[in-house]
Amino acid sequence: MLPVWETALIQLMEASTIKPLMLCPDFIQDIHVMIFVGFGFLMVFLKKYGYSSLGFNFLLAALVVQWSILCQGFYELNSDYKIEIGLTNLYKADVATATVLISMGAVLGRTSHNQLVLMGLLEIAAYCLNNEINVKYLKAVDVGGSITIHTFGAYFGLAVSYVLAKKHQTEEPNLPQSSYTSNILAMLGTIFLWVYWPSFNSIDLEKDRAHRAIVNTYLSLAASCVVTFAASQMGSKNHKFDIVHIQNSTLAGGVAIGACAHLMVQPYGAVFIGMIAGLFSVYGYTTISAFLESKFKILDTCGVNNLHGIPGILGGLISIIMAAIATEQQYQKTLYEVFPARANPIISQNPEYIHLQAGDGRSASQQAGYQALLIIVTISIAIVSGLISGICLMNFSLWNNISPDSFYDDSVFWDLQVNDDVETDYRPTKWRVKEKNISKISVQ
C-alpha cells in the first residue's frame, strides 16, 4: 500500500507533466542513487573524514532537494500563484542538488555542516537564477548539465574555497590523508556514478533523443575509463596506476558529453569526447591542481575542477561546434526539437510542426553564439556568487568555523566511540553492564 504522501503526490501530477518514455520513477531513482550513494561514497577517500563525507552529503542533499523545489517553483508559478509538484519537480531538484554536492567537494573537510548548509542555500538561489537566464533568454542546449550543473558547481565551489583559504593562509593546516580502505569505498561511489550516468543525461528527453543520449553517454564513459587507466600509468614515474585518477577521471566522459548527449555526434564522436575528457582530467590532477594551489592558494579537496570544471567547459565547447554544423538535412524534422530556439516564430502553423512551440528563428551560427554565451554567463555567475557565499561563510561565527588543525577530522563534529584496534560491542548498554557484573562475580 502506498504511503499517504506518495498518493497525494501522484494526485498532484498532471498528465502533461509526464513524459511518455524516459521520465519514470525508475529513472528518477537512478538519479537518487547518484546523489545519495554515488556522491557520498566518492568523497569518503579521506581516512578520518568518512562519517562527515557520507553524513554531511546525506544532510545537505536532503535539505537542498526541498529548497530547490521551492526556488525553481518560484520561476514556474501557475495561474493561481502556486507551485505544482510532480515527478518533473523531483528530478529537477535532484539535478540541482548535484550542483551543490560538486561544490561541496571543493571545500570538503574544511567546512562545518552549518557552513555547508548556508552554502547550499545560497548556491541553489544562484543556480536557479542562472538556469532561468538560460531558459528564458539564452535558450542554449545543455541536457546533461555540462555547463549549468558541472561547470557552475565546480567554479562556485572553487570561489568559496578561495575565500576560505585566504582566512587561514597564515596558519598551518591539517593535511588530507587517505587509506587503502577509504580509497576502496570511494571506488564504490565511482562505480555507482559510472553505471547510472546515462540516466542522468537522458531523463528529460524523449524517443530518439533519449536513445542517442544513452548511447553517447555510455560510449563516452567507456572511452574515458580506458584512457584514464592508460594516462594514469603512462604519466606516473613508476608506471603504476593512481587511484585518485581512477576514482574521478573515469567519470569525465559523462560530464563532457552532457551538453551534446542528444545530438548527432556519432559513436566515434562520443568515444573521442570521452577520450579527450579523460586525458584532460588526468592532466588536471597531475598538474593543474598543484598550480592553482601554489599560485592562487585555491585548495580543491576532491579535484572538482578536474572532474567537473574542465570536462564541463570541454562539453560546452563541443556543443558550440555541434550547434554550428546542425542542419535540417541532418536532423530532419527533429531539428527544432533539439534546438527549440531555431524554430520559426510561426512554425506551429505548419501542420507538420503543430506540436512545437514558437522559437526565435535563429540560424546555426547564432545558436552556436548563444552556446558560447552560456559558458561565459555561467562561469561569471558561479564565481561571483561563490565569492559572496565564501565571505558569508567566513564572517559569521554562527556557522561554526573550524580551525586548520581540525581539518579533515571527524572528531570535531561526530561522537567517535569506535577504536579501530578493538572490536566494538554494539549490544544495548544494559546487556553489557550485566555481563560485566557477572564477570566480576566470577573473578571473586
pLDDT tens sequence across 4-54: 333 333 333 333 343 444 556 678 899 999 999 999 999 999 999 999 999
Residues 6 or more apart in contact with residue 75 via CB below 8 angstroms: 128, 132
Task: Report the C-alpha gap between 352 and 107 in whole angstroms.
Answer: 51
User: Which residue bears the cell 588536471?
Assistant: 284
CA dihedral 290, 294, 296, 299 (to 10 degrees): 50
pLDDT by position in tens, the chain (length 444):
334 333 333 333 333 343 444 556 678 899 999 999 999 999 999 999 999 999 999 999 999 999 999 999 999 888 888 888 888 889 999 999 999 999 999 999 999 999 999 999 999 999 999 999 999 999 999 999 999 999 999 999 999 999 998 876 656 567 888 999 999 999 999 999 999 999 999 998 888 899 999 999 999 999 999 999 999 999 988 999 999 999 999 999 999 999 999 999 999 999 999 999 999 999 999 999 999 999 998 999 999 999 999 999 999 999 999 999 999 899 988 888 899 999 888 776 566 666 677 788 899 999 999 999 999 999 999 999 999 999 999 887 666 678 888 899 999 999 987 655 544 454 455 545 555 555 555 554
User: Which residue bears the cell 571506488?
Assistant: 187
pLDDT tens sequence across 351-387: 666 667 778 889 999 999 999 999 999 999 999 999 9
One-letter amino acid of 235 = G
Cα maximum dimension of the chain: 97
Task: Report the C-alpha gap between 392 and 30 in whole angstroms.
Answer: 34
Q: At what angle do helices 364-395 and 152-167 cross, to 10 degrees?
A: 30
- DSSP lists the bridge partners of residue 46 as 178
Task: Please say whether the beta carbons of 65 and 93 come within 8 A.
Answer: yes
Task: Report the C-alpha gap between 188 and 194 in whole angstroms.
Answer: 10
What is the reported pLDDT for 8? Answer: 35
Residue 257: CA count within 13 A, CB half-sphere? 40
Task: Report the C-alpha gap between 320 and 213 in whole angstroms.
Answer: 17
Residues 6 or more apart in contact with residue 288 via CB below 8 angstroms: 305, 306, 310
CA 246 to chain centre: 18
Give the chain's length: 444
Work out whether the CA dihedral 399, 400, 403, 404 comes out positive or negative: negative
Nearest to 230 by CA among 279, 281, 271, 274: 279
**Which alpha helices (DSSP H) does 134-266 contain, by range?**
152-167, 180-202, 207-235, 243-248, 252-256
**DSSP string over 20-31:** SSS-SHHHHHHH
CA 436 to chain centre: 49
CA 244 to chain centre: 18
Burial class (CB in 10 A: 0-12, 13-18, 19+), 123: buried
Grid cell locating 62: 536532503
Q: Which domains does the chain possess?
A: 9-412 (1.10.3430.10)
Nearest to 285 by CA among 245, 238, 225: 245
What is the reported pLDDT for 206? Answer: 85
What is the reported pLDDT for 2? Answer: 38
What is the reported pLDDT for 356? Answer: 72
